[in-house]
Amino acid sequence: MEPVDARYPFLGRAREAVRASGVDLTTLVATADPVVDRARERVERALLDGTTESETPHDWDTREELLSYPVARILVSLLDADAAVEKYATAEAQTAHTRFTSDFVSSDGRRDRIDRQTLLAEFDLAADCRAEPARPTGDSTSSRAGRGTASTRRGSDWFWLGVGSYLSLADPTWGTEWRLVNRELADGEVRVTREELDKLLEAGVRARVAAGLPFEGVDDAVAAELEREVSDLRELLAERTGTTEVDTLAPELFPPCLRGLLDRVRQEESISPQARFALLAFLAAIGLDQQEVLMLSHGELTVDTVDKTLEVLRDGDGTQYPPPSCRTLEAYGVCENTDDHRSVAGHPLDYYEKKLRRADDVTDWRERETT
């Protein structure tokens, strides 16, 4: 295991190093190896801070840093939430970007450094990317000369990348300037700045990290040993879950606590203001409007109550605030973790989405009411 493997654990050589080490992850997790603590920190910092860099980097050796990566992927898989995968992959990619952009301009010869050519090769881009020869100071015109002769280290401010590779990495959400129609193209290549190329490499890292997550088939013994870490991370993720959009309304798949509140409202029972707010926040978050809320509750919630609550749940630009997490609902006295449903997810939205994904032949409640 080399220092560079620990800094860039998504590289093929790092995976080989883990495989060659012969480490058994089941044994490692069962013995409370420090690797597990670093893996948990890795995921926790991804959820909280958008980085996987340790707050105490000198506390971990090369082995612990490298092996924390596969264990972190197990933790993310056990969380089984799209938001966890998104945040984790993005954080790993941003951390890598910070590191490799520093490495590309370094000349200290440290063994944990990586050069641009190596990273390009990792994503099969080496033969499809070439540096544009440096121009004299003050000359900003492009150059098609010198194909294949320029170094891909920081000697040039411009690069030419094959259109196919460019399109496979560029994200349309980055802005109109990334659209091909707004780029300089010639002979099947796209001209990009050094910073843009590094951003594309970051996108490659993100895709590499996200690939296969969450994966199934985690060993039951490993899952059991990591139960505490997963529970804590699930609660952490729940507090940061945004609003969602679902296409299907199926009250029978609501979390038990919210399903119970809905049943009580339908039976004209009184519920606390906090419980009413939690129910309406959840219904609003899954896309119900005023009329649908009233229909679902059989009209036992007043128009005025619904309108005022929905107004509170939206900020000035109309953005929908997320409903309370399971931890907050517990503090309200609303959630008692009936049937251990929080082992499925730590947030009502995550729970409902998972139940919908796993259910067969669900008919939307609105369709049932009109038939």
pLDDT per residue as tens digits for the range 339-357: 888 777 778 888 888 888 8
Whether 229 contacts 237, CB under 8 Å: no
Q: In which residue are the tokens 């926790």 written?
A: 44
CB neighbours of residue 358 within 10 Å = 10
d(CA 337, CA 329): 10
pLDDT per residue as tens digits for the range 194-213: 999 999 999 999 999 999 99
- Average pLDDT over all residues of the chain: 85
Q: Which amino acid is at 224?
A: A
Please report, rounded to a whole number, the percentage of residues in the chain having pLDDT higher than 70: 87
pTM confidence score: 0.67
Tokens of residue 271, six digits: 């519920």
pLDDT per residue as tens digits for the range 257-267: 999 999 998 88
Q: Which amino acid is at 53?
A: E
Q: Is 301 left (phi over 0), alpha (psi -120 to 50) or beta?
A: beta
Mean pLDDT of all residues in 303-313: 76
pLDDT per residue as tens digits for the range 90-145: 999 999 999 999 999 887 777 789 999 999 999 999 999 999 987 655 554 554 54
Q: What is the DSSP string of 79-101?
A: HT-HHHHHHHHHHHHHHHHHHHH
d(CA 257, CA 248): 19
Q: Is 121 helix (H, G, I), strand (E, B) or coil?
A: helix
Q: Is 283 helix (H, G, I), strand (E, B) or coil?
A: helix
pLDDT per residue as tens digits for the range 204-246: 999 999 999 998 889 899 999 999 999 888 877 766 555 455 6
Say yes or no to pLDDT of 325 above 60. Answer: yes
d(CA 217, CA 78): 10
The end-to-end CA distance of the chain, in Å, is 64
Q: How far is CA 349 from CA 58, 101, 134, 336, 363, in A?
A: 38, 38, 53, 17, 19
Whether 205 contacts 96, CB under 8 Å: yes
Q: What are phi and psi of 162, to 5 degrees?
A: -55, 140
Beta strands in the chain (DSSP E): 129-131, 158-162, 185-186, 189-193
Whether 12 contacts 73, CB under 8 Å: no
Q: What are phi and psi of 161, to 5 degrees?
A: -125, 135
Mean pLDDT of all residues in 363-371: 76
